[in-house]
Amino acid sequence: NAGVTQTPKFRILKIGQSMTLQCAQDMNHNYMYWYRQDPGMGLKLIYYSVGAGITDKGEVPNGYNVSRSTTEDFPLRLELAAPSQTSVYFCASSPGDRRGYTFGSGTRLTVV
Amino acid sequence: AQSVTQLGSHVSVSEGALVLLRCNYSSSVPPYLFWYVQYPNQGLQLLLKYTSAATLVKGINGFEAEFKKSETSFHLTKPSAHMSDAAEYFCAVSDSEDTGRRALTFGSGTRLQVQP
């Protein structure tokens, strides 16, 4: 049982480049989330999904896009990377009962 | 909307001393509350959670937290700090069901230092 798998673990991007952060879960959870973590700020919700084909914005969605074509996968797309997107990104999933959340190990992204 | 306030961005204790990390929440519905720990350059590990059962919740590594509705608090404690407890700690509250997203809202974190 792998839980939530994020790839890559580390990445350095140049300003203006694009990339996709991958997230996959094998628990058949309907709810999936993307957070970013910045020093002293805790984790902020970027996007979320309540099921395949359904996504919505969180608190800090600018500069990002998501898709959810399957229950398992929830990729996060960065278009035109900016230094402000330097952060640690966490993907999480939940069955939707508010009682349990499983987090991936994170992707550390640096934009230079 | 739910929110979490963690008082003290940095807490320093001596090894063997009591650890007290403060968390206050705001929630429009009975809350579900969580404490996570993050060791340097690692992901989030669940320490404990309150989901409306016993108000005193015991977690891993000797930590516990008490839910106090009258004080809207969920403070994390450990009787005797160990050097290995040095990490960042996050308190979080889950959204109510009617928000649709049912996501976690996190506090800004408290970095715990343990002095020898």
pLDDT in tens, B29-56: 888 999 999 998 888 999 999 988 789 9
Contacts of A107 (CB under 8 A, 6+ apart): A6, A7, A8, A9, A10, A11, A21, A88, A89, A90
What sign for the dihedral angle of Cα B82, B88, B93, B94? negative
Which residues of chain A does B104 touch, with a Cβ-Cβ cutoff of 8 Å?
Answer: 33, 43, 92, 101
Report whether B65 contacts B57 (CB < 8 A).
yes
In this predicted structure, the answer to whether residue A19 has a pLDDT above a threshold of 90 is: yes
**B46 CA to chain A: closest CA distance, Å?**
9
Judged by a CB distance cut-off of 8 A, whether residue A60 touches chain B is no
**pLDDT digit string (tens) for A40-94?**
889 999 999 999 999 999 999 999 999 999 999 999 999 999 999 999 999 999 9
- For residue A109, pLDDT over 80 is answered with yes
List the beta bridge partners of residue A55: A49
Query: What's the confidence (pLDDT) of residue A1?
Result: 63
Residues whose CB is less than 8 angstroms from the CB of residue B35 and which lie 6 or more positions away in sequence, other chains included? B21, B23, B46, B47, B48, B49, B59, B63, B65, B74, B76, B89, B90, B91, B92
